Structures are given as C-alpha cells and as structure tokens.
Chain A
Amino acid sequence: AQSVSQHNHHVILSEAASLELGCNYSYGGTVNLFWYVQYPGQHLQLLLKYFSGDPLVKGIKGFEAEFIKSKFSFNLRKPSVQWSDTAEYFCAVNAAAGNKLTFGGGTRVLVKP
C-alpha cells in the first residue's frame, strides 16, 4: 500500500522568507505526485503536479516542487512567501496505474505579515 509522509505539521514564517515543505512517499512502482493547497475557508485546490519528464515542476503562485526518485521525495518550495500563502498544504500520490489519491497529513503554514 502506498503512504505519504509530511514531516512538518506546522510552519510559521515571516513574509519574504523562503518556504520548503517536505514530502516523502512509500510505493515501489511508478507514481504521479501532487501538491494541493487549502486556504482558510476554501476548498482544496491543485498547486502543481508531476507525471513524467522534467522532475522540477512549476505551479501556480510561484510554487515549485522537485521529484527526486532516489529519495522518494517531492518537496514543495517557494523562494519568497506572502501573507496570502497562509494555508494548509497537502502532498498526494497516486499509483500510475490507479486513480485514488493518498494524502499526507498536511502542513499548516502561517505567514506573519
């Protein structure tokens, strides 16, 4: 069975700081990888996704993530955060042969103005 770990449950940082959220997955086969974000009071939205090709994926709002197959990781980064990036971030995986998403536990990010 596949599983996803997000190491940080809560992150607090100031505006303009850099952000990196860790995500590791456990699955032996080919996977598709996602980062979703849930802003306060809003529903889950896709930030970015990786299926194949360039392991450095760029998403919306200046976010990017790098797939490192040897480390089973898909870390999310943003060079300079804004107060509006305050949200909960979820890493998710599905097996390339399947459809259901397996989510990590989420990381709550608070950006102080």
Chain B
Amino acid sequence: GAGVSQSPSNKVTEKGKDVELRCDPISGHTALYWYRQSLGQGLEFLIYFQGNSAPDKSGLPSDRFSAERTGGSVSTLTIQRTQQEDSAVYLCASSSEDRTDTQYFGPGTRLTVL
C-alpha cells in the first residue's frame, strides 16, 4: 500500500516568510508525528497527534511553529517568520495507535531559508 507522503519535497524561502509543509499519513494510521533532521541537531521530535487527543507539542522549538491535523488524517506544519536556523529536513511519520507499532517515515521536505 501507499506509504507516508509529504509535500513539497523541497522548499526554498526567504527569511521572514511563512511556510506550510504537508503530510499524508498511511491510511488508517491514527498517530502522526513530525520530526526535524538538521546538521547541528540530528533528528528531533517536534509534535505528535493521536486520534482526537490533544497533541503533544513538547518538541516545538518556538511559538513560530505550529501544526494541525484535520479530520484525523492530513497534517500541516506551519513555520511563521522563517529564520535561517529553520533550514532542515522535516520528516513526518505515522503509526497505528498501538505504542509498539513501527513509525513509518515519509521522504521528508527539505526546507532552505535564505
């Protein structure tokens, strides 16, 4: 079946602009995660959605970052007033509600802030 998809695959933006990154999880997966992969920080957790529960936002680095998940499926990560340090690959993963289930990762969106 189809895996996790993300769009765009690459995004170049100017400092100060807002960007939106999209994630389509595997059909039927109730859990959705956003991670960030950057040279200096490695792979970092950002935010986690599980069903209708309140999201775990504990990994968001600043209030410029937000995410939503509409209808329990597609998720959008928004970065406002982008800074150069936001340049990274943003990864989305999904899994079933079972904590022991594997998280399946998408190909990522490479964000470059000029």
Using a CB–CB cutoff of 8 Å, the interface residues on chain A facing chain B are 32, 34, 36, 42-46, 49, 51, 90, 92, 94, 96-106
Contact = CB atoms under 8 A, between A and B. Distances in A.
B65 interface: no
A100 B48 contact: yes
Interface of B: 31, 33, 35, 42-45, 48, 50, 56, 58-59, 91, 93, 95, 99-100, 102-108
Majority-rule SS of A interface residues:
loop
B99 A101 contact: no
A45 to B, nearest CB: 7
A102 B43 CA distance: 8
Nearest to A44: B105
A32 B99 CA distance: 9
A103 B99 contact: no
Contacts of B48: 99-100
Contacts of A99: 31, 33, 48, 50, 56, 95, 99
A43 B108 contact: yes
Contacts of A44: 91, 93, 105
A101 B102 CA distance: 11
A90 B43 contact: yes
B59 A100 contact: yes
Name the 4 nearest CB pairs between A and B, nearest first.
Answer: A103-B43, A44-B105, A100-B45, A43-B107
B46 to A, nearest CB: 9
Given A44-B91, A103-B43, A49 B59 contact: no
Contacts of A49: 102
A92 to B, nearest CB: 8
A24 to B, nearest CB: 15
A8 B8 CA distance: 33
Which of A96, A101, A106 has the largest count of B CB atoms less than 10 A from its CB?
A101
